[in-house]
Amino acid sequence: MRFPSFPTIIRTFSLYNLTRIHNLPAAYRAIPAPFTRNTTVFRSMPTIPFLGSLFGSQQKDMTDYPVKKSDDEWQAVLSKEQFRVIREKGTEAPYTGEYDKHMPSEGTYTCAACQAPLYRATHKFKSGCGWPAYFDSIPGAVIRHTDSTLGMERTEITCSKCGGHLGHVFKGEGFPTPTDERHCVNSVSLNFSKEDKEA
Ligand SMILES: [Zn+2]
């Protein structure tokens, strides 16, 4: 048998590797080699929480939100910073947001992405944390999710209409509010209207 020509060997090798790599699920491909060697152990683990805590990546939100847009569509209507915070679950720098020290006596804070009413001015309180703080939301306006990124367990909040990331809820901090909860929300996730808007 004739030995295959050099280009044939290269082509075969490349195809083999491409096939091998592309047959793996995307998340699995991202795992460094030491974690993939013992596949039996790996497969016995709860995949998504394990990956989330290992890489600090965002967990997939499987909620069926009524407002659905692709990343391209969101990028067309949001600023770069809004897209980073709202769609990529980023956090704005503390003490910099437009609504941090904004304390109107009436009006409504709405979702910057889909305009759904989220918080009333009367829900807002001064927490000193550097982000707008609310002790409650308009009923049904926000959805809570367990967020296990950054090596801790927090409660993430998203807009119930479009799934846009708002921030996190913290409990039991001792603020003198009716709920003892603090919805810590990024200003860029919000707009403000002087009107009292209903959900
Ligand atoms: Zn929204």
Residues 43-89: pLDDT tens digits?
Answer: 333 333 443 334 444 567 889 999 999 999 999 999 999 999 999 99
Q: What is the pLDDT of residues 77-103, one digit of tens each?
A: 999 999 999 999 999 999 999 999 999
End-to-end CA distance of the chain: 76
User: Distance from the CA of 190 to the center of ligand 1, in angstroms?
Assistant: 9
- Amino acid code (one letter) for 46: P
Give me the pLDDT at residue 86, please.
98
pLDDT band (50, 70, 90) for residue 39: very low
pLDDT in tens, 138-193: 999 999 999 999 899 999 999 999 999 999 999 999 999 999 999 999 999 999 99
**Local confidence band at 17 (pLDDT 50, 70, 90 cut-offs):** very low
Rounded to the nearest whole angstrom, what is the distance from the C-alpha of residue 124 to the centroid of ligand 1?
19
Residue with the larger pLDDT of the pair 14 and 111: 111
162 is catalytic: no
Distance CA 159, CA 143 (A): 6
Whole-angstrom distance, CA of residue 92 vs CA of residue 22: 36
Comparison of pLDDT for 180 and 13, the residue scoring more:
180
The Å distance, Cα 85 to ligand 1 centre, comes to: 13
Name the segment(s) of the chain with CATH classification 2.170.150.20: 71-193
pLDDT at 199: 67
C-alpha 77 to ligand 1 mean position (Å): 12
Which of 111, 159, 162, 184 is labelled catalytic? Answer: 184
Taking only the tens place, the pLDDT of each residue in 113-151 is 999 999 999 999 999 999 999 999 999 999 999 999 989
On the 0-12 / 13-18 / 19+ scale of CB atoms within 10 A, 42 is: middle
CATH class of 71-193: mainly beta
Q: Between the CA atoms of 68, 69, 71 and 77, what dihedral angle is there, to the nearest 10 degrees?
A: -130
Residue 129's pLDDT is 96
| Protein residues within 5 Å, CB atom, of ion ligand 1 | 111, 113-114, 116, 159, 161-162, 164
For residue 156, how far is its CA from the centre of ligand 1 (angstroms)? 14
**HSE of 194, CA atoms in CB hemisphere, 13 A:** 0
| The predicted structure's pLDDT at residue 60 | 76
pLDDT of residue 2: 52
The yes-or-no verdict on residue 6 having pLDDT over 60 is no
Ligand 1: distance of its center to the CA of 65 in Å?
9
Burial of 124 (0-12, 13-18, 19+ CB in 10 A): buried
